[in-house]
Amino acid sequence: MFRQRLNLTLTVAGLMLGILSCTSHYRIDGVVETLGYEGRELSLIEFLPFRTTKFDSCLVNHGKFQMKGQIDTTRLVFLCKDGQPIIPVYMEKGHAVISLLPTDMTVSGTRQNDLFYSFLKKKIEIDNRYEDMSQKRMSMSRNGMDIRRMELIQDSLRMIVNECEEMICSFMERNYKEPAAVGVFMMLSAAPTPDVPPLIRRILDAAPDEFLSQSYVSGYTHRVGYNR
Least confident of 10-14, 34-38, 69-73, 133-137: 10-14
CA 187 and chain centroid, separation: 8
Q: Which residue has the higher pLDDT, 148 or 176?
A: 176
Confidence of residue 205 (pLDDT cuts 50, 70, 90): very high
Q: Give residue limits of the domains in the chain.
A: 24-109, 113-224
pLDDT at 39 over 50: yes
pLDDT above 70 as % of the chain = 89
The DSSP symbol for 223 reads H
CA distance linking residue 10 with residue 215, whole number of Å:
41
Strand-pair partners of 94: 26
Confidence of residue 19 (pLDDT cuts 50, 70, 90): very low
CA 24 and chain centroid, separation: 20
Q: Which residue has the higher pLDDT, 3 or 131?
A: 131
| Average pLDDT, integer, range 13-41 | 73
| Average pLDDT, integer, range 57-67 | 96
| Average pLDDT, integer, range 169-192 | 95
Confidence of residue 20 (pLDDT cuts 50, 70, 90): very low
CB 107 within 8 A of CB 117: yes
Which numeric CATH code is attached to 24-109?
Answer: 2.60.40
The closest of 122, 93, 94 to 106, measured between CA atoms, is 122
Confidence of residue 192 (pLDDT cuts 50, 70, 90): confident
CB 220 within 8 A of CB 193: no
CA distance linking residue 80 with residue 18, whole number of Å:
34
| Average pLDDT, integer, range 30-43 | 95
**Rounded to a whole number, what is the largest CA-CA distance in the chain?**
99
pLDDT at 90 over 90: yes
pTM: 0.83
| Average pLDDT, integer, range 60-82 | 95
Least confident of 82-91, 104-113, 149-158: 149-158
